[in-house]
């Protein structure tokens, strides 16, 4: 059955669904992963959409513990980047590649309509 768009939400079988929004976390050595997690956890965001984070799950888990946040349930795990291979504030080719892979995965999911934006 086709879904009908209505004011940023989707009606499916008469049930209003929140749009699924992909958020890439940026470079794992920067502030992006923490900001993405903090934003995804905001009640205002949860009220309007279903956020999906794109990034290395090991890094997001470690950051979640450090900032006292639960790790979002919707994460697209990107790459082989491990927490012990990054140093905060020190960018590397590995973390840059993981960031690029996250953008690629989000674009692929958007084109395949697995996410709405």
Q: Which residue has the higher pLDDT, 65 or 24?
A: 24
- Identify the band that residue 3 occupies on the pLDDT scale cut at 50, 70 and 90: very low
Whether 14 is covered by a domain: the verdict is no
pLDDT digits (tens, 9 = 90+) for 27-64: 999 999 999 988 888 899 989 999 999 999 888 888 88
Report the alpha-carbon distance of residue 55 to residue 111 in Å, rounded.
18
50-55 and 75-77 beta bridge pairing: parallel
Is 9 domain-assigned? no
Indicate if the pLDDT at residue 78 is higher than 70: yes
Closest CA to 76 of 53, 92, 93: 53
Is residue 57 assigned to a domain? yes
Pair of tokens at residue 53: 């984070």
Q: What domain range is 97 assigned to?
A: 19-111
What pLDDT band is residue 91 in, cutting at 50, 70 and 90? Answer: confident
Longest dimension (CA), the chain: 49
Q: Three-state DSSP class for 111? A: helix
**Domain annotation covers residue 41:** yes
Give φ, ψ of 87 to 5 degrees: -125, 125
Asked if the structure places residue 80 within a domain, the reply is: yes
How far is Cα 112 from Cα 35, in angstroms, rounded to an integer?
Answer: 26
Residue 78 lies in a domain: yes
Average pLDDT over residues 68-76: 80
Q: What is the pLDDT of residue 59?
A: 87
Residue 50 lies in a domain: yes
In a domain, 1, yes or no: no
Q: How far apart are CA 93 and CA 89, in angstroms?
A: 13
Does the pLDDT of residue 4 top 70, yes or no? no
How many structural domains is the chain composed of? 1
Number of helices (H), then strands (E), belonging to the chain: the values are 4, 6
């Amino acid at each position: 059955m086709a879904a009908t768009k209505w004011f940023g939400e989707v009606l499916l079988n008469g049930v209003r669904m929140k749009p699924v929004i992909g958020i890439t976390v940026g470079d794992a050595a920067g502030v992006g992963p923490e900001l993405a997690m903090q934003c995804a956890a905001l009640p205002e965001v949860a009220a309007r959409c279903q956020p999906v984070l794109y990034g290395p799950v090991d890094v997001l888990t470690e950051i979640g513990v450090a900032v006292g946040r639960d790790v979002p349930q919707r994460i697209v795990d990107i790459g082989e980047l491990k927490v012990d291979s990054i140093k905060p504030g020190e960018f590397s080719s590995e973390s840059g590649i993981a960031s690029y892979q996250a953008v690629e995965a989000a674009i692929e999911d958007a084109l395949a309509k697995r996410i709405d934006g």
